[in-house]
Structure 1
């Protein structure tokens, strides 16, 4: 039985509904505005993140063009004022009777102006052009700064372009990865371990204590282009297996992080919140993945990438030239890395209908991968990876237009699970 306290917490589906229904009022209160003026804000949700067991986070743009505002129901410590008396975020306490007569505990919603992310202190130095130029320009002028990815409270990736006019015009681009300061140090360590072993990872150019690490830009295009062109059949899958086999033994001594499929219960919960109409199908998938993994020989612990899929593999024609996103490098099982690729490949048609060779790609890669691990572990884990991607199909500001994409990812997970040998 769950603890009595757990029953008093706001269910996350109610947190999500409350945030979506009252964003304007929450933002106005969090920014110290008169709550009666919240209608003039007309916030537009541009980012939504649901971490099962942690809470809901969202990013909004404001109608008046004054920038972006973030809010979260995740647990944060009370804000501490800086030397000027300013606090990085405001915490609002919502009584439980707002949503249920039986009375949940109060819900704490933290509100901040972007880029003052409560858990990413380095985001301002990376996202404000003048500060990025001073910190990472090395005397060159900043010509362009764009946010490639941002997950509130978790991480951000920005691409910065620089130019120098003397003695002749030279241009370069770097990537700034913003993380919690302790995790940024771990990322840099992982990158250097892999680089020393000869793996094609981006060079670490700088690492700042506020959690920002700068990396050189690599050439090449994502493996996804090859998969779109011919299902990846012009690439020998053994090249990918060989890359993983080259990972140094020292990786096994790094902290362990659970594989995607090992957290299928959490991702299934997020999928049910996003697609309540498909709850039964998601239940069946969750049970199926867990049963497949329980029956499988998952293999020994080996060095793994942890997020091994097509977007993190750079190609020049059919030659592998780059390995990205090494945040999750550590001990794991070979089937988990190979399944990560298959799970992501399987959902590509739900992302872009031009991926018409996915069945051929799964057959092509799967035939080789099955020789390296138990097929039950491979396809069961791949289905778990696809489940983890269902809730991510939700696109803020699109009403229900994202639902077919989410259902497409769900169907992909079901097809992967059907490949598990009986």
Structure 2
């Protein structure tokens, strides 16, 4: 049997096609803006919650809007709950669109390319969960929060990249985005399976109806807002009523949207499909409004100065979150990537080294939005444990960001050289030469 030559061997983190690379660049540019807004929202909440006017922040967060009198639905919710259950459904709708697009029309429709981010995402969730569980089991802590350090916040991570002025090569950028999207899907699955106390089967069955009608309409390329938006709201309300976290409705709706154009509209080569069209419309709402507002209501923890911070970090729950994000995430991602390379006999792309993988895996340890959401579901909003979770998520995410900054900045000269190569277009056809 002929052994594969060096040129035949599969490369991990190699640059993909030009359409995919340019699309990912555009997406991450938008995520950078969203990440900055997210950090501003979280910072405002932290300052307000620790100021003499902290009671007004609590009053705003706990202000109830809605009613339970309409058709017997339980919609008398606090603003914080509306943000967590309602606005994050928009975030997960975009995640569902993105994931489906990646696996239907993106470079990840090739199973060999898809294997890396999927395996890394699984490793990047399993190991932090094990680290959290092991720490809390040994310290008699609460195991209910095992899923908190499993999530990656792509907007926060990309904002950090912008702040430190580094340019990840296109292969690593695509990997980071896809890993975070797969991470989000796994996180919503964990929420639905492990953080649902009881299920109203009648309401759940009823939620399927507007989702199915929504899917029927979009499959026929009907994009009329006055039809689709009410159906999406009905699906959200019924999913919320069923007892399953309402954000699941967002993912389910996203998965129904077709990615490719129909043959009547010119087929796959005729341009972006409906999924990409809706993503362009909804992503700015998600990144520019939904996620920052959620961060504002979720991140307002009263720290109580350095002594209060130290007290919070004595809770095994908070320390478990920090260890899961700072150690578990990079160990899980790098370890699973190394195992994949080992068993498939794949090599890293020639321009990269394992230091780059480690730096990027540290960046994936920034778990903010979904981590805060899971913390609320695990321990209840406003509980002492949830307050400690917020401290753990903030400290862990900032520590992961600082460590990633050190590693990635040290490699910035290499990234700039790769970036220059990826932009050279000698024949001036709009496509860099390395993609031809």
TM-score normalised by structure 2 residue count = 0.23
Query: Looking at both structures, which has the greater relative contact order when contacts are Cα pairs under 8 Å and sequence separation is at least 6?
Result: 2
The structure carrying a bigger strand percent of its residues is 1
TM-score normalised by structure 1 residue count = 0.24
